[in-house]
Amino acid sequence: MTLPDLSHPGDTTGSPPTTDPPTSPHSWQPLLRRLHFYAGVLVAPFLVVAAVTGGLYAIAPSLEQLVYRDQLHTDSAGDARPLAEQVGAATRLRPDLTVSAVRPGARAGDTTRVLFDDPSLGESQRLAVFIDPVTLESRGELTSYGSSASLPLRTWLSVAHRNLHLGEPGRVYSELAASWLWVIALGGLALWISAYRARKKRRIADLAAFDRTATGRTRTRNRHGVIGIWIALGLVFLSATGLTWSKFAGDNVSDLRTALNWTTPAVDTALTGSSSAPAGHGDHSAHGGQGDHGDHGARGDNDPDVPMSPTASVAQLDRVVDTAREAGVDGNVEVSIPAAPGTAFTVAQTRQPWQFAQDSVAVDGTTGRVVDESRFADWPLAAKLSTWGIALHMGILFGWVNQVALLLLAVALVVLIVRGYQMWWQRRPRRTGRRAVGRPPVRGALRRLPAPAVVAVAVIALAVGYVVPLLGVSLLVFLIIDAGLGLRARRRVASAAGRTVRAPGPDR
């Protein structure tokens, strides 16, 4: 199979009747159709990979509960021992490492996850030791990743979805897919609605229901359009939330949020005038111990600048957790242990199914006093939407319902892409005696638009390309290739016309 000729002037090779629907001279449809076609053909392979890896990652939280049941749960019955004793049991197992945080078991039968900074692990990774809160026995050790505390299986799927385990260069694939997904989805939606409105006889059911009487390419197009209209909103959501994690567009989004003061608030953990990195919301980089594995500090009774031993710091955990619960920060939480003198503990609620608010407090371990708090209700709306969007994208916000919906969305996207390629194949010439694919929509759509519209398209393309750089760069590459193939086609036509003129006439 060869790539379509981007400059195909027309179909004179015996293709099936697949002419583009007639449009007015100044219609936007030819431009949208051509953009949708090429974006779909050239970007779709990246989307397939993203859909497959993303669908698996979506159900990873449930898979994690099954695969690591022995570490996450226990059958021991009885009262839980004090949290300080549980952490102490873990530190005796790993005296070579520095404890940075703890996630107490929130329900009976849950183990306590004690997190250690381990210099042998990668960035944002910690060693998790799972302790039975009743017997204080270890249930095993696993590597924990990121603020979501993903275990190895979910981490592997996450990295596969993000960069195919190719490191930073691999992130280009996922960002390219996310950059184009919303363009393809909205463009296809506009084309399908436009085609529906152009019908002389139309019913609402024709817009979103399969036509069981259609055959051939018409049937394929109907399936492609109906599936697209059902999942368009979901695709735009995945594109938008995915771009927030991307390398280039993500940096622009972060800069915009900072400029507009839409960032997620964090509690102030300073007990004295000493500076310390703000810790909050389970962000590993805010533990104060990232890359620093010395003794953790807490405020002493007499001298706030004298660091307290790790044992004394751990001994304050029960007081800290009790204070946080009284302040309404309960359930599944992560308690960050201070790594510097004059620094408070941070207790932050973690992402859990059906939890729509994440509060956090900073607690003085010595006095049990709340020194700062961050209430989700007080967050900027953009920060709330970002938190909900991330949890929804990760398959966490609505539990297994969320995960099944994302998996179905991923499957539907793959089917949509297969139908798109099928339409392309069904447009192929049938009587050329060579392997070929269907012709693209006719060129020249942009030239037929009024001058103000052309200027508007250029301005919008530049603005979007600036915010979403990979979209802009890849679009420029498409235009260069298209222009080059168009030039080649014109030269071929001119050469053929020259040979016809020079051909000898019939014998007289």
Supply the DSSP string of 104-163, one letter for each residue: ---STTBPEEEEEE-TTS-TTEEEEEEE-TTT--EEEEEEEETTTTB-HHHHHHHHHHHH
C-alpha distances in Å from residue 506, one per residue of 451, 501, 503: 49, 13, 10
Condensed to tens digits (0 to 9), the pLDDT of residues 312-321 reads: 689 999 999 9
pLDDT for position 494:
80
Distinct helix (H) and strand (E) counts, the chain? 15, 8
DSSP states of 482-493 as a string? HHHHHHHHHHHH
456 and 307 share a domain? no
Answer whether residue 407 is part of any domain: yes
146 and 175 share a domain? no
276 and 318 share a domain? yes
Domain tally, the chain: 2
Beta bridge partners of 131: 112, 138
d(CA 340, CA 270): 10
Answer whether residue 53 is part of any domain: no
Answer whether residue 140 is part of any domain: yes
DSSP states of 185-224 as a string? HHHHHHHHHHHHHT-SS--HHHHHS--TT--HHHHHHHHH
DSSP classification of residue 270: B
* 278-312 core/surface letters (b: 16 or more CB in 10 A; e: else): bbbbbbbebbbbbeebeebbbbeeeebeebbebee
Answer whether residue 396 is part of any domain: no
270 and 358 share a domain? yes
* 150-177 core/surface letters (b: 16 or more CB in 10 A; e: else): bbebbbbbbbbbbbbeeeeeebbbbbbb
**Parts of the chain with a pLDDT under 70:** 1-27, 273-312, 430-442, 444, 499-508
Q: Look at residues 344, 378, 412 and tell me which one is the last residue of a structural domain.
A: 378
pLDDT for position 262:
82
37 and 73 share a domain? no
Closest CA to 467 of 215, 211, 203, 239: 239
Contacts of 230 (CB under 8 A, 6+ apart): 208, 412
Contacts of 187 (CB under 8 A, 6+ apart): 32, 35, 36, 39
299 and 352 share a domain? yes
d(CA 377, CA 360): 12
Q: Look at residues 311, 346, 378 and tell me which one is the last residue of a structural domain.
A: 378
208 and 311 share a domain? no
CA of residue 113 relative to chain centroid, distance:
26
pLDDT for position 332:
95
Condensed to tens digits (0 to 9), the pLDDT of residues 25-51 reads: 456 788 888 888 888 888 999 999 999
Q: Which residue has the tokens 């703000």?
A: 278
d(CA 198, CA 506): 50
What range does the domain containing 330 cover? 69-150+264-378
130 and 276 share a domain? yes
Answer whether residue 129 is part of any domain: yes
Contacts of 259 (CB under 8 A, 6+ apart): none
d(CA 72, CA 123): 23
87 and 128 share a domain? yes
Closest CA to 228 of 181, 179, 180, 161: 181
| H or E, element range at 333 | strand 333-336
d(CA 299, CA 94): 24
83 and 124 share a domain? yes
pLDDT for position 372:
95
Answer whether residue 192 is part of any domain: yes
CA atoms within 13 A on the CB side of 174: 30
CA atoms within 13 A on the CB side of 337: 30
Answer whether residue 11 is part of any domain: no
278 touches 263 (CB < 8 A): no
State the pTM of this model. Answer: 0.82
Beta bridge partners of 127: 116, 143
What is the widest separation between alpha-carbon atoms in the chain?
120
pLDDT for position 97:
95
276 and 364 share a domain? yes
DSSP states of 334-361 as a string? EEEPP-STTB-EEEEEPP-TT-----EE
345 touches 363 (CB < 8 A): yes
359 and 414 share a domain? no
pLDDT for position 425:
86
Answer whether residue 24 is part of any domain: no
CA atoms within 13 A on the CB side of 358: 30
